[in-house]
Amino acid sequence: MSAPRADQLDPSVLAALGHLELVARWVVDGFITGLHRSPRKGFSVEFAEHRPYMPGDDLRYLDWRIAGRADRWVVKQFEEETNARAVVVLDTSKSMQWTGDPSRLSKLAYAERLVAAISLLLIRQRDAVGLVRFDAGLRNVIPPRAQRAQWRRLVAALDEPGGGESSDVAGAMLQAGRIVRRPGFVVVVSDLLVDSAPVADAARTLRARGHEVLMVHVMDPAERDFPESGEALYRDMESHQEVPAAPSDVRESYQVTVREALDEWRGALGRAGARYALAMTDEPFGRPLRHLVGSNGRGAMI
């Protein structure tokens, strides 16, 4: 019986085993193993050039004729591998630091590991990836690069502080669009505790510029389910507004409101031409990764 892959493990258990960088490597290694076991074949793209072989490269793309003739290990590089540009946009506002259960990762801790995994996955397929971290304003803006050293820059940025009182999701998305100089990808990771209209407008603007927009909505299970407990004082982490309530009195109406809000986000982003995925902080990292991996008509994984 084979051991479970890291991308299929409980995220809090996995996070307890190592630092963010190590967890992201485990997740990507497991996820790629799963892709190789699937019936899907390789990229349908045009050969562009050779590049030197690096440890970890897929042996299917080694040019064995050159290896035999010149005793030189090179990999066939394809056109799409040199073209894709992506920026991952991460919300670091105070609401992202919340968890409904101390045994679970906070939304931000979950999102940081997911962002690190997405970035490593992109870099391993030779795409250029950058990062925008934001709360009420911009925390980091790192333009896309395809070098392996780029991932360490991104991981270092993820360790920097955040925690502003609010989230300017739309502004961060537009900033990401400005640093992707040609049509590429903007991947947004946020708990989306903001109005949907400005975000949908920003997504529409990015789509008009030729960018793909992928929204990952991070949510704690307690935010969706409103678990039973005694009467308590509920405090918004960003506005500081406090509301006393007994969960049994408001649970049903709360759950209806949450479902309506999720439907609103799906609809608003769908009409803007963006893709939407809900990522719960108790689900394995492989699930949101699978939402992001698909065919965009150009052969890239995302």
pLDDT (tens digit per residue) in 265-289: 999 999 999 999 999 999 999 999 9
What pLDDT score does 301 carry? 44
Residue 278 belongs to some domain of the structure: yes
Q: Does the pLDDT at position 296 exceed 50?
A: no
* Cβ atoms of 155 and 62 closer than 8 Å: no
Q: Which of 136-150, 176-190, 234-248 is least confident?
A: 234-248
Q: Using alpha carbons only, what angle is made at residue 162 by residues 167 and 260, rounded to the nearest 5 degrees? A: 35
* Structure-block tokens of residue 98: 């919340």
Q: Given 54, 82, 110, which residue is the final one in a domain?
A: 82
Question: Is 115 a domain residue?
Answer: yes
* 36: in domain: no
Nearest to 192 by CA among 273, 101, 279: 279
Pair (134, 266) in one structural domain? yes
Helix (H, G, I), strand (E, B) or coil at 51: strand
For residues 61 and 97, membership in a common domain is answered with no
Which pLDDT does position 124 carry in this prediction? 85
Q: What phi and psi values does residue 74 have, to the nearest 5 degrees?
A: -130, 155
Single out the residue in 29, 52, 82 at which a domain terminates.
82
Residue 62 CA to residue 44 CA, distance in Å, equals 16
List, in order, residues 6 or more apart from 150 with CB less than 8 Å away. 123, 128, 129, 142
Domain membership of residue 175 (yes or no) is yes
Q: Closest Cα to residue 276, out of 208, 221, 223, 199?
A: 199
Q: How does pLDDT run across 21-69, given as a tens digit for each residue?
A: 999 999 999 988 876 554 433 333 344 455 676 666 666 666 777 777 7
Amino acid present at 131: L
The confidence score (pLDDT) of residue 244 equals: 74
61 and 148 co-located in one domain? no
Q: Is residue 217 in some structural domain?
A: yes
Question: How many other CB atoms are found less than 10 A from the CB of residue 245?
Answer: 14
Can you tell me the distance from the alpha carbon of 29 to that of 153, in angstroms, rounded to the nearest whole number?
Answer: 20
Give 198-241 pLDDT, tens digit per residue: 999 999 999 999 999 999 999 999 999 887 665 666 666 666 77
Q: Please report whether residue 219 resides in a domain.
A: yes
Let me know whether 75 and 202 are in one domain: no
In a domain, 18, yes or no: no
Which of these, 72, 78, 73, lies nearest to 62 by C-alpha position? 73
- Which residues make Cβ contacts (< 8 Å) with residue 269, sequence separation at least 6? 196, 199, 200, 203, 213, 215, 275, 276
Pairwise CA distance, residues 168 & 201, whole Å: 13
Where b means 16+ CB within 10 Å and e means fewer, 51-89 reads eebeeebeeebebeeeeeeeeeebbebbebbebbbbbbb
Residue 232: both structure tokens together? 């308590």
Are 180 and 64 part of one and the same domain?
Answer: no
Q: What percent of the chain has pLDDT over 70?
A: 77
Q: Are residues 62 and 125 in the same domain?
A: no
Please compute, for residue 119, the number of CA atoms within 13 A of its CA located in the half-sphere on the CB side.
Answer: 37
Report residue 124 as tokens.
């391993």
Q: Count H helices, E strands: the chain?
A: 10, 10
Q: Residue 166 sits in a domain of what CATH number?
A: 3.40.50.410
Is 52 in the same domain as 164?
Answer: no
Within 10 angstroms of residue 40's Cβ, the number of other Cβ atoms is 10
Question: Are residues 100 and 223 in contact, defined by beta-carbon separation less than 8 angstroms?
Answer: yes
What integer pLDDT is reported at residue 56 of this predicted model? 61
What is the number of structural domains in the chain? 2
Last residue of a domain, one of 33, 57, 82: 82
Q: Are residues 204 and 151 in the same domain?
A: yes
138 and 220 in a single domain? The answer is yes
In Å, what is the CA distance from 144 to each residue of 21, 122, 151, 300? Answer: 19, 11, 10, 16
Residue 196: per-residue pLDDT:
96
Same domain, yes or no, for 167 and 146? yes
Residue 80 has pLDDT above 60, yes or no: no
Total-model pTM: 0.80
Q: With respect to residue 11, please indicate whether it lies within any of the assigned structural domains.
A: no
Q: Which residue has the higher pLDDT, 160 or 78?
A: 160
Judge if 98 and 132 occupy the same domain: yes
Check if the beta carbon of residue 7 is closer than 8 Å to that of residue 289. yes
Domain residues for the domain of 208 are 83-292
Section 6-33 average pLDDT: 92
Quick one: pLDDT at residue 226?
80
Pairing of strands 232-235, 242-245: antiparallel
Within this chain, do residues 78 and 227 fall inside the same structural domain, yes or no?
no
